[in-house]
């Protein structure tokens, strides 16, 4: 077993990990990024649609284009990136990262660690939909990879389950490639993805979206033959009499992304709502030498935000390695009314920073409040599916524990 | 002497291996594309203690005996078998009485190590169980295994010892002459046969009918399951049974060998023509959830990984039908319902050591060169890292991870294909790749690629499991 010493070690080479690597490397510390896949880029590899980089590069790029920008920024990839390295385990007591690759077992001893392991898709199997277990059921990400990377179609007639962004994008993609896309069913009363995607992917292509609908049963012997769909009430119980059989040979499920934190969740303080580590404005976890950024911290809508987080994590991890004394978190953000995803949960109060949050429920007119004080108003409808970013500048007057609320206003 | 075993489930597989110890030409034949895809694939995977089968039943004759054989068998065939022990828990006073009854029954069946524990004792050992439990019957010898892996291991070993394996081949008829078996007809050909062993699971009645000994019928009884993520490892350490009812052992909470938690099964009788009905139902899954929650209240259903159903091959008397028939050479191993996994090793020995020599009057001679050992495909999660490094140094493909949830490498997948996997399920059941929490999201396409490369077949022709379970339709553009 070989042992390698390194200053900043980054696990995961998606947008967050690449951004972190760029920042860390630019400070001159010895930086290494481990990626378990054949190449870096993460989900960007398979997102050949455009819509990436509007904030960061002020341009609409495709996923691979965005990825290439990051590669350019990084410079000599071979020096920094190790592809096909899977991290098996983090021994946080001895500060060791144990990996498997074609070289065998390599143990890295980093001074600082950045977790950028991204998210995985929730499989349809996890939803316990009754019926047969048949071929022809894919997650949207698998279908996307199949079409965009493997150049293969998943079937002939498809129903999309769940209106998350990947589901919406795949509805359009499969339609363009000649499949019969019968529609999208969404169990919630509102779409799960960005409104721009509902418009550009469904409405522009005449693909129906059935809200408050779900799949009641899966039919078929070996390959999928059809599904029974129907309407659900507020408690997501099927409404009798609304059942309808739809003949399809393919189901594409976009029923949620789950942050991947198996490597740290047993020793780092976790946020059960974000399903990621609790972090501060320096992207530090509860363990001072472990930082985190990207979809493993919480699910983000836009790559730009992931990229910015990665940069913050990279910068501060490098500072930590260089022995700079980083400020301690001074304030705590607590969830109050109507707050779902929220990050960071801690902040040092030294510099302005961006806060991200999702309301639990949609509101026509609303405001974000910090311990009772309005800090931002919305004249447009806010929804859980669209992450709100908010630059926090004035914290001198805040109490140490800040209650964050999203309330209705008139 | 040519012997045909019909069915490569756990009973047929172990019988085939037992037969391969002798100087015989042994064939095993299964209509499924792979080994162990019948009843053996979907069940509770428990090697039962053997205490609860009615004394005097055929089940009782084999269950306790089979249990005892599992240590040596798992050692020879290198499959996972863990003696976790089991508890039958009692919520009511009358149930406590029943536990005493069960304990006595155990003694009659030759299972004498049973113990009745108080709720206090139980709490220390299984802290997550319902606090209202009054007492529990502890059986230290109960265990868990992977039934399909037992079948695969047994067939691999039998093959090494000369057995011939026919998969994807369905038996259509059996020709009998002068009250003796003569031929077996399949969808691929016909073979002369001297002995036919009917281990066809749910379809054993149909096979028996082909030989003209249709004196029993098999009814499917469905059992549904919910599998929970191995993040919950340790939720229970042993198998947890409720106090049984007349119909079944009830809905259980079972640890799986790779750390997951299995909930189920319920029991629903189906009409005789529904032997392929493996659908889960809303009612069934709800029942499984509610009843398992009664045993372990902290069960969090959001950890579900998947659901599935199995069918028990039931007969009228709820007992095994094992032995020679009026047709010389035709042997039934039928109605192998629960505890069939447990009993299978003992049944296999009984066929070669009792039925063939005594009922058919044949003296079998043992091969001198029988090799009892089979080695499993190495798995990272079961190997220490120094050793794994040696494996990688020999073959770097074992250093390339394909399935991230269960840490399965390309090397393991290639080895599974070498050993006969042709489908995604074939790979999955041999390596646990795509068995985990993402259910193949990250790896299924990579596995397709590897199968395609290793077997030189286009992606479009690779199946999930059976003939019509295609995965990829065709090229998006040429
Ligand atoms: C289908 C889809 C469409 C999208 N569309 C848009 C869009 O139009 N515009 C936009 O701005 N954003 C879009 N996004 C969002 C944005 O692309 C993502 O939020 C962002 O790319 C996530 O980056 P990440 O680095 O956090 O995670 P990922 O890209 O998931 O990267 C994580 C990386 O970590 C690696 N890894 C994980 N575990 C380990 C381990 N143990 N060892 C080694 N490596 C490991 C993974 O292999 C992966 O490469 C889209 C996302 C998806 C999925
Ligand atoms: C819900 C459930 C829970 C259970 N739990 C347990 C438990 O915890 N412990 C325990 O000990 N037992 C348990 N059992 C029982 C156990 O699973 C079975 O007894 C055992 O798997 C039966 O194995 P088999 O080889 O006899 O049948 P199978 O595995 O069904 O094998 C028969 C094979 O014959 C093949 N076949 C059929 N017809 C033909 C044909 N015409 N031509 C060629 N091939 C044919 C089939 O394809 C099949 O592969 C359970 C069963 C169920 C359903």
Interface predicted TM-score (ipTM) of this complex, two decimals: 0.95
Question: Whose Cα sits closest to atom 32 in ligand 1?
Answer: A118
- Residue A105's DSSP bridge partners are A100
Ligand 2 centroid–CA B310 distance in Å is 9
Report yes or no: B408 and B402 within 8 Å, Cβ to Cβ: yes
- pLDDT of res. B245: 79
Q: Average pLDDT, stretch B234-257?
A: 92
| Catalytic residue list contains B48 | yes
pLDDT over 90 (residue B249):
no
A114 and A12 together in one domain: yes
A3 and A118 together in one domain: yes
pLDDT tens per residue, range B114-135: 999 999 999 999 999 999 999 9
CATH number at A407 reads 2.60.40
Residue with tokens 């983090």: A90
Q: Burial letters for A107-141: b for 16+ Cβ neighbours within 10 Å, e otherwise? A: bbebbbbbbbbbbbbbbbbbbbbbbbbbbbbbbbb
pLDDT over 80 (residue A199):
yes
- pLDDT of res. A170: 97
Residue with tokens 């590069």: A57
By C-alpha distance, which of B328, B352, B350, B348 is closest to B212? B328
B390 Cβ contact partners less than 8 Å away, ≥ 6 residues apart: none
Report yes or no: B379 and B408 within 8 Å, Cβ to Cβ: yes
Last residue of a domain, one of A222, A250, A278: A250
CA B50 – CA B60 distance, rounded (Å)? 7
A170 and A239 together in one domain: yes
SS3 A54: coil
pLDDT tens per residue, range A112-133: 999 999 999 999 988 999 999 9
Residues 211-250 on B with a CB inside 8 Å of A are: 226, 231
What tokens were used for A234? 């507020």
A128 and A243 together in one domain: yes
pLDDT over 90 (residue B112):
no
Gyration radius of chain B's alpha carbons: 22
In ligand 2, the atom with minimum distance to the C-alpha of B169 is 43
Chain B nearest C-alpha distance from A348 (Å) = 33
* Mean pLDDT rounded to a whole number for chain A: 96
Hey, is the C-beta of B423 within 8 angstroms of any chain A C-beta? Answer: no
Q: Return the beta strands (E) in B59-147 as ranges.
A: 81-82, 86-90, 115-118, 135-139, 143-145
The DSSP output letter for A287 is S
Chain B nearest C-alpha distance from A303 (Å) = 20
Report yes or no: B20 and B162 within 8 Å, Cβ to Cβ: yes
Ligand 1 pocket: which of A303, A310, A313, A389 to mutate (most atoms within 8 A of CB): A303
CA of residue A107 relative to chain centroid, distance:
28
A40 and A154 together in one domain: no
By C-alpha distance, which of B122, B115, B99, B119 is closest to B52? B99
Hey, is the C-beta of A126 within 8 angstroms of any chain B C-beta? Answer: yes
Count of CB atoms within 10 A of residue A312's CB?
Answer: 22
Ligand 2 centroid–CA B83 distance in Å is 22
What tokens were used for B196? 């036919």
Whole-prediction pTM = 0.96
A74 and A137 together in one domain: no
Task: Count CA within 13 A, CB hemisphere, residue B438.
Answer: 25
A179 and A118 together in one domain: no
A377 and A405 together in one domain: yes
Q: Average pLDDT, stretch A98-125?
A: 97
Report yes or no: A17 and A116 within 8 Å, Cβ to Cβ: yes
A4 and A111 together in one domain: yes
Domain that holds residue A236: 123-250
A400 and A372 together in one domain: yes
Q: Determine the length of chain B.
A: 478
Q: What domains can be seen in chain B, in order of their start residue?
A: 1-82+145-218+315-376 (3.50.50.60), 380-461 (1.10.10.1100)
Last residue of a domain, one of A326, A354, A388: A326
CA B62 – CA B350 distance, rounded (Å)? 9
In this complex, do A152 and B401 lie within 8 Å of one another by their Cβ atoms? Answer: no
Band the pLDDT of B360: cuts 50, 70, 90: very high
Band the pLDDT of B214: cuts 50, 70, 90: confident
Q: What is the CA angle A194-A215-A232, rounded to 5?
A: 80
B326 Cβ contact partners less than 8 Å away, ≥ 6 residues apart: B179, B213
Hey, is the C-beta of B453 within 8 angstroms of any chain A C-beta? Answer: no
What tokens were used for A6? 């390194």
DSSP codes of every residue in B124-170:
HH-TTS-TT--EEEEETT-EEE-HHHHHHHHHHHHHHTT-EEE-S--
- pLDDT of res. A244: 97
Set of chain A residues whose Cβ sits within 8 Å of the Cβ of B460: 152
Last residue of a domain, one of A326, A343, A366: A326
SS3 A180: strand
pLDDT over 90 (residue B248):
no
Hey, is the C-beta of A35 within 8 angstroms of any chain B C-beta? Answer: no
Residues 358-397 on B with a CB inside 8 Å of A are: 380, 385-386, 388-389, 392-393, 396-397
CA B279 – CA A404 distance, rounded (Å)? 46
pLDDT tens per residue, range B51-110: 999 999 999 999 999 999 999 999 999 999 999 999 999 999 999 999 999 999 999 999
CATH number at A141 reads 3.50.50.60
pLDDT over 90 (residue B459):
yes
A17 and A90 together in one domain: yes
Q: List the single residue in A with minimal CA-CA distance to B401.
A: A86
pLDDT tens per residue, range B148-203: 999 999 999 999 999 999 999 999 999 999 999 999 999 999 999 999 999 999 99
Report yes or no: A343 and A274 within 8 Å, Cβ to Cβ: yes
- Residue B254's DSSP bridge partners are B262
pLDDT tens per residue, range A353-390: 999 999 999 999 999 999 999 999 999 999 999 999 99
- Sign of the C-alpha dihedral, residues A201, A203, A207, A212? positive
Ligand 1 centroid–CA A120 distance in Å is 9
A377 and A337 together in one domain: yes
Ligand 1 pocket: which of A11, A117, A172, A252 to mutate (most atoms within 8 A of CB): A117
Q: Average pLDDT, stretch A254-266?
A: 96
Domain count, chain A: 3
């Amino acid at each position: 077993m070989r042992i390698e010493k390194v200053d900043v070690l980054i696990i995961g080479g998606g947008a967050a990990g690449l951004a972190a690597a760029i920042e860390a490397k630019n400070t001159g510390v010895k930086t290494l990024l481990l990626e378990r896949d054949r190449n870096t880029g993460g989900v960007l590899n398979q997102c050949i649609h455009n819509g990436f980089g509007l904030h960061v590069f002020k341009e609409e790029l495709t996923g691979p284009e965005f990825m290439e920008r990051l590669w350019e920024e990084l410079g000599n990839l071979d020096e920094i990136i190790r592809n096909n390295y899977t991290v098996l385990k983090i021994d946080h007591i001895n500060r060791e990262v144990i990996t498997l690759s074609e070289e065998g077992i390599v143990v890295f001893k980093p001074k600082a660690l950045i977790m950028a392991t991204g998210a995985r898709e929730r499989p349809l199997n996890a939803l316990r939909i009754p019926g047969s277990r048949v071929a022809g059921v894919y997650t949207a990400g698998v279908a996307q990879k199949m079409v965009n990377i493997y150049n293969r179609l998943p079937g002939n007639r498809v129903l999309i389950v769940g209106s998350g962004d990947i589901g919406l994008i795949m509805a359009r993609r499969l339609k363009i490639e000649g499949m019969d896309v019968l529609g999208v069913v969404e169990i919630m009363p509102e779409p799960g993805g960005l409104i721009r995607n509902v418009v550009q992917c469904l409405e522009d292509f005449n693909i129906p979206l059935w809200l408050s609908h779900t799949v009641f049963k899966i039919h078929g012997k070996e390959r999928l033959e059809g599904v029974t769909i129907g309407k659900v009430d507020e408690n997501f119980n099927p409404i009798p009499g609304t059942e309808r059989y739809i003949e399809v040979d393919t189901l594409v499920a976009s029923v949620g992304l789950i942050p991947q934190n198996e490597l740290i969740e047993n020793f780092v303080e976790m946020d059960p709502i974000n399903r990621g580590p609790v972090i501060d404005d320096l992207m530090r976890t509860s363990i001072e030498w472990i930082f985190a950024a990207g979809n493993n911290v919480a699910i983000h809508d836009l790559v730009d935000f992931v990229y910015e987080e990665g940069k913050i994590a990279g910068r501060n991890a490098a500072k930590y390695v260089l022995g700079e004394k980083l400020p301690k978190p001074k304030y705590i953000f607590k969830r109050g009314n109507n707050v779902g995803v929220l990050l960071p949960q801690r902040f040092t109060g030294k510099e302005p920073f961006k806060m991200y949050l999702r309301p639990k429920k949609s509101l026509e007119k609303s405001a974000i409040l910090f311990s009772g004080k309005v800090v931002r108003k919305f004249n447009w409808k806010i929804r859980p599916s669209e992450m709100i970013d908010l630059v926090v500048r004035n914290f001198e007057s805040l109490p140490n524990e800040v209650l964050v609320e999203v309330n209705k206003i008139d | 002497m040519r012997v045909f075993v019909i069915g490569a489930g756990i009973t047929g597989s172990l019988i085939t291996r037992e037969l391969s110890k002798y100087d015989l030409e042994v064939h095993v034949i299964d209509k499924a594309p792979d080994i162990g895809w019948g009843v053996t694939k979907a069940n509770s995977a428990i090697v039962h203690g053997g205490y609860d089968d009615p004394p005097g039943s055929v089940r009782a004759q084999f269950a306790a005996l089979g249990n005892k054989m599992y240590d040596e068998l798992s050692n020879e065939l290198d499959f996972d078998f863990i003696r976790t022990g089991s508890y039958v828990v009692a919520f009511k006073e009358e149930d406590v009485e029943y536990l005493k009854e069960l304990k006595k029954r155990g003694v009659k069946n030759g299972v004498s190590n049973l113990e009745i524990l108080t709720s206090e004792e139980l709490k220390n050992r299984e802290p997550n169980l319902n606090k209202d439990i009054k007492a529990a019957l502890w059986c230290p010898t109960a265990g868990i295994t992977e039934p399909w892996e037992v079948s695969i291991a047994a067939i691999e070993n039998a093959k090494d010892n000369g057995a011939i394996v026919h998969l994807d081949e369905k038996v259509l008829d059996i020709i009998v002459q002068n009250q003796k078996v003569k031929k077996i007809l399949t969808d691929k050909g016909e073979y002369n046969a001297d002995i036919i062993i009917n281990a066809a699971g749910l379809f054993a009645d149909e096979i028996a009918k082909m030989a003209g000994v249709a004196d029993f019928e098999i009814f499917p009884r469905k059992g549904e399951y919910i599998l929970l993520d191995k993040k919950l490892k340790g939720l229970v350490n042993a198998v947890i049974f409720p106090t049984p009812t007349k119909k079944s052992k009830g809905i259980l909470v079972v640890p799986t060998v790779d750390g997951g938690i299995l909930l189920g099964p319920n029991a629903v009788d189906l009409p005789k023509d529904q032997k392929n009905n493996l659908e889960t139902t809303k009612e069934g899954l709800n029942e499984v959830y509610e009843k398992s929650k009664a045993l372990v209240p902290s069960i969090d259903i959001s950890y579900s990984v998947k659901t599935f159903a199995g069918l028990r091959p039931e007969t009228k008397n709820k007992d095994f039908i094992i032995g020679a028939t009026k047709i010389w050479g035709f042997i039934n191993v039928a109605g192998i319902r629960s505890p069939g996994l447990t009993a299978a090793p003992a049944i296999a020995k009984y066929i070669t050591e009792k039925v063939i020599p005594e009922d058919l009057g044949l003296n079998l001679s043992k091969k001198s060169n029988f090799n009892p050992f089979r080695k499993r495909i190495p798995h990272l999660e079961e190997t220490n890292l120094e050793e794994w490094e040696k494996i990688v140094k020999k073959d770097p493909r074992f250093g390339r991870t394909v399935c991230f949830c269960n840490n399965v490498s390309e090397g393991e997948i290639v080895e599974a294909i070498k050993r006969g996997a042709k489908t995604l399920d074939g790979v999955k059941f041999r390596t646990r790749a795509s068995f985990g929490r993402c259910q193949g999201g990250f790896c299924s396409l990579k596995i397709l690629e590897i199968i395609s490369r290793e077997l030189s077949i286009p992606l479009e022709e690779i199946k999930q499991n059976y003939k019509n379970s295609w995965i990829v339709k065709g090229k998006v553009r040429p």
